[in-house]
Structure 1
Amino acid sequence: MPKEINFHFKSPKDSPGYLLGQLTMLWQRKLKKVLDPLDLTQTQFVLLAALGWLSKKNDSVTQIDIANQSNADRMMVSKVLRTLEDKGFITRQEHETDTRAKTIKLTNAGEKVLQNAIIEVENADLDFFSTLDENLSPFNANMAKLIDKNKNE
């Protein structure tokens, strides 16, 4: 007879990590449906969106800026940015003052695909989270707290 396995939580629905994992998979599936027609992965969209946000305030956005904005691994960001460059959505040029850095800019095609993706993703988000109604703001605030607490670990 197998040894009994003990869990802290009485059921999976009591485990925040399990629920977060399930919710994340469902949300990613929904985003995949809206991003596939735009020839973007979720990661590509996140990095383009980070570049879009950062470009509103800064003309010299670097790969490190994008990695920091998106809480992403720098090596992964580098690889994904190469893919986005191959697709014609961004350009990478030598930084004016830092020879180790590259300045990343959206191309016209990148701006267009990002704007279309933002509309699709925001609509998907509104639909996905619609059952939260007036609880959406506190839900977002709690997620932001968790991100702030755990992002440097």
Structure 2
Amino acid sequence: MQKKIEFKFKNPGESPGYLLGQVTLLWQRKHKKVLDPLNLTQTQFVLLTALGWLSRENDTVTQVDIANQGNADRMMVSKVLRTLEVKKFISRQEHPTDTRAKVIKLTNEGAKVLQKALTAIENADIEFFSVIDNKLSSFNSNMINLIEQNKEE
């Protein structure tokens, strides 16, 4: 006879991890629909956004800066940046003081596609999260708290 499996939660609707996973899958599908026509993946969009954000304050954004901003694995960032370079969305130049680093810059084409993607994603997010209406700031605060409390050092 098979051993009975014990669950802490009575049903999936009581499991925050399960629910977060379901919400994430739906949210990612919505993003994929708006990013596909722009020839971007979700990861490419996140890294372009990090670059765009960091470039507002700094003229010498590096791959490490982008990885840190996006809380991403450096090797993955390197691979994705190479793809974005092939697509002509970014350029890499010699760093003025660090010979090991490259300065990453948005190209004109990259800036155009990023602006289109930002508009599309922001509109998709507004629509997606509209169901929680006036509780959005509380929801965001809870997510920030989860991120801060669970970051790996």
Q: State the TM bucket, normalised to the shorter chain.
A: over 0.9
Cα deviation, 1:17-49, whole Å, max 9, x if unaligned, reads: 111111100000000000000000000000000
Counting only pairs closer than 5 Å after superposition, residues 101-116 of structure 1 correspond to structure 2 as 101-116=101-116
Q: Distance in 1 between matches of 2:119 and 2:151?
A: 27
Aligned equivalents of 1:86 and 1:48: distance in 2?
A: 14
Residue 86 (structure 1) aligned with residue 86 (structure 2) = yes
> Which residue number in structure 2 is paired with residue 148 of structure 1?
148
Q: Distance in 2 between matches of 1:107 and 1:151?
A: 32
- Which secondary structure does the structure 2 equivalent of 1:76 belong to? helix
TM-score (norm 2): 0.98
Q: Given the two structures, how large is their TM-score scaled by the length of structure 1?
A: 0.98
Supply the RMSD in Å over aligned alpha carbons: 0.8
Superposed CA deviations along residues 53-83 of structure 1, whole A, max 9, x for unmatched, are 0000000000011001111100000000000
Partner residue in 1 for 2:117 = 117
| Gap regions ≥5 residues in structure 2 | none
Map 1:48-67 → 2, pairs under 5 A: 48-67=48-67
Structure 2 Cα separation of the partners of residues 21 and 78 of structure 1? 27
Equivalent pairs, count: 153
How far did residue 9 of structure 1 move? 1.1
Unaligned runs of 5+ in 1: none
Structure 2 distance, partners of 1:123, 1:72, is 25
